[in-house]
Structure 1
Amino acid sequence: MKYFLPLLLILLKSLTVAAQDTIRVTYSEEPDTLSVRQKFIDRYDNVFMTRVPTKHIVKAGYRTSDLRGIGIGVDISYEYKLLPFLSVEATLRGQTNAANDAIYSRTFVKPWRGNTWLGAKARWYYAMPARIRKGLNANNFSGAYLAMSYELPLKSIDRYNSSPYKRIVGVASGFQSRFLNWGHIDISFGAYYTEPRPREASWHPLYSNKSPVDFKRNIIFSTQMTVGIALGDWKRSLPSQLCEVLLCDEEIHNQWKLRFPEFSIGLDQQSLRTGIAREAKFGKSPFSLDMSANAEFYDRKWDSVRGSSIKVGLQPRYYFLQRMQIRRGKSGNNLSGFYTAFEIAMLHTKYGTTGYFPNINERYWSISPSIGFQQRLFKHIYVDTNVGYHVLPADVPYPYDALHRRYSARLELGFTF
């Protein structure tokens, strides 16, 4: 009997334990994605100033487009908001009309009136009203748009002018954005009607040209990109946000760079300009090696000119401020900052015309010392600009003796990975 009570207690205890809930309780942690997302949204808004109201903006930029003939140029424009979704813009546009992808010193010696255009544009920011209602945007100039434009050269008809057009009317879709306090970028693709000038025979009183204009032959599909500065009625953004955008502390030892393609396609005009490069650092030093290949192709029926230029270059670079910036905590061991460079390049040039100038099909070597600035933006975008002096070791026939024996300035925008 004395053993019965202890055994009964043990039995009851075991039954009680067996009857307990056997569901296991586990614990886990999840990252706070809401605050991370909000931080990114706030950074995006501050960098691109999407929530800052702006009704006036003055822009000065470097433009790449072959729409008006081979070349690039400089734009100065003023844009005003009539309604939250509608703006008007007036532009003064200087066209360099030079082959290759840089602005050269002799560009501005040409008759300036024949290479200067006046333009007007209306932009419809179709997504802005909805973004304003949702609190994602203010009434400003940042966002996607549809546009109609009208341009005409400042000089009247001149048969010796390099531009063949009397006026240009276009419709385009694009994206314009502010960048911090002074930056500005505008990228678009559109269809343009390029009204031709009268042919040379029409200047002769006995041989007037009355042939009808073929509308479809004067349609050109073209990309246009403008990068520059802008002044408007907005507040200044905080300097502390700059490194978050420019990735100051990131370690980058090598990168591929794909240049934004610039092209114009029409029945009477085709052109393409693009390039690719690979840049790699020498260990942790401020030295790097940039290997690039750039190509340009053009075919213009209106002046019977067809040509191409392929350039393969090898460019050692020295980022001369990088060590000081690293010590100050303003930079990492990467491929951004001011640099000096010395490029050795091989150029293969083809140029053919039915005019008075000889055809060219030659290869040349060139050397080009330069100073420049390169910067990564949001990991997958880069900007590279420099000023240099281009020298060819031998005399080169027209037109490339005028293009490479002088100072030049160029800006390159593209994608990096």
Structure 2
Amino acid sequence: MKQTLLVLLIVLNSVLSVQIVLAQSDTVTITYSEEAADSSDFSLKEKYKYWTRANVEEKSMFKIGLSSIGWGGGPFVGYHFAYERKIGVPFSILAQYEHNVTGWDNNSLGFGAATRYYYLMPGLIKKGKSANNLSSLYLSLQAENIWSSHRDAFLSNNSVMLSERQIQRIAAFSLLQGIQLRLGKYGYLDANLGYRYSPSLKRDYVELNFSVGVAF
């Protein structure tokens, strides 16, 4: 688990660093159509903006993705469905369903809602470096209801036995710093790191999320 979290943390830190540098650098704005056919003459930054669709306006996105989650009860791997929509320039709201699996015969499903603040977006739009979209750094406040189903394994007469299935409802709230990027016309990457608190478990811990998939 420690190695997985370390790798994901390094990836997140690298992507965040690239995004900040590109957002702050001063270059001539490049304008292109959504169906631009040839990007072979683009500079590195222009290619980055092209493939992350920085200059394409996009106010809503439906996402289907694979996810990896690391926190006090993890790590988990699973899939999710999410819908995100802009409300104004810097803010969006998000709703999602997720199904995660960890360990022996353990899984969980949950529903979450979040608001995101794309804090660089107003400045980037004003400078002509981005359209109003969902591809940038963000801060997020998230609430979740999770139903966890698990059975514990134990030894009995030299045989592995399973306990009766237990189902637990867990409420959790998270404050996250993250980045979401478009990967071409139909792909996306979303990664965040932050603080998570569960009143159900009366615990708090660091949370790390990473997801990649298709988006429309």
TM (norm. structure 1) is 0.36
Structure 2 vs 1, CA of residues 81 and 228 (structure 1 numbering), >3 Å: closer, same or farther? same
1:281-300 superposed matches below 5 A: none
Residue equivalent to 2:211 = 226
How many residue pairs get aligned? The number is 164
Gaps of 5+ in 2: 1-27, 29-40, 150-163
* SS of equivalent to 1:138: coil
Structure 1 residue 147 displacement after superposition: 0.2
Instruction: Tell me the distance in 1 between the aligned counterparts of 2:45 and 2:74.
Output: 41
Residue equivalent to 1:55 = 59
Structure 1 residue 41 displacement after superposition: 3.2
Instruction: Tell me the distance in 2 between the aligned counterparts of 1:47 and 1:143.
Output: 13
Instruction: Tell me the distance in 2 between the aligned counterparts of 1:227 and 1:168.
Output: 23
C-alpha distance after superposition, 1:322-351 (max 9, x if no partner): xxxxxxxxxxxxxxxxxxxxxxxxxxxxxx
1:92-171 superposed matches below 5 A: 92-98=97-103, 115-153=108-146, 160-161=165-166, 166-171=170-175
Residue equivalent to 1:330 = none
Instruction: Tell me the distance in 2 between the aligned counterparts of 1:81 and 1:160.
Output: 41
Structure 1 residue 95 displacement after superposition: 1.2
Residue equivalent to 2:48 = 44
C-alpha distance after superposition, 1:140-180 (max 9, x if no partner): 00010000000002589xx9436x65211010000110011
Give the fraction of aligned pairs with identical amino acids, expressed as a percent: 25
Higher RCO (CA-CA < 8 Å; seq separation 6+): 2
Instruction: Tell me the distance in 2 between the aligned counterparts of 1:155 and 1:165.
Output: 6
Contact 2:172 / 2:197 at 8 angstroms: preserved in 1? yes
Instruction: Tell me the distance in 2 between the aligned counterparts of 1:38 and 1:144.
Output: 23
Structure 1 residue 196 displacement after superposition: 2.6
1:228 maps to a residue whose letter is G
Instruction: Tell me the distance in 1 between the aligned counterparts of 2:178 and 2:166.
Output: 30
Structure 1 residue 44 displacement after superposition: 1.9
Contact 2:147 / 2:170 at 8 angstroms: preserved in 1? no
Gaps of 5+ in 1: 1-33, 100-106, 198-212, 232-417
Contact 2:65 / 2:80 at 8 angstroms: preserved in 1? yes
Residue equivalent to 1:79 = 84
Deviation above 6 Å: which 4+ runs of structure 1? Answer: none
1:9-20 superposed matches below 5 A: none
* SS of equivalent to 1:96: strand
Structure 2 vs 1, CA of residues 160 and 194 (structure 1 numbering), >3 Å: closer, same or farther? farther
* SS of equivalent to 1:132: helix
Contact 1:191 / 1:222 at 8 angstroms: preserved in 2? yes
Structure 1 residue 181 displacement after superposition: 1.3
Structure 2 vs 1, CA of residues 48 and 129 (structure 1 numbering), >3 Å: closer, same or farther? same
1:69 maps to a residue whose letter is G
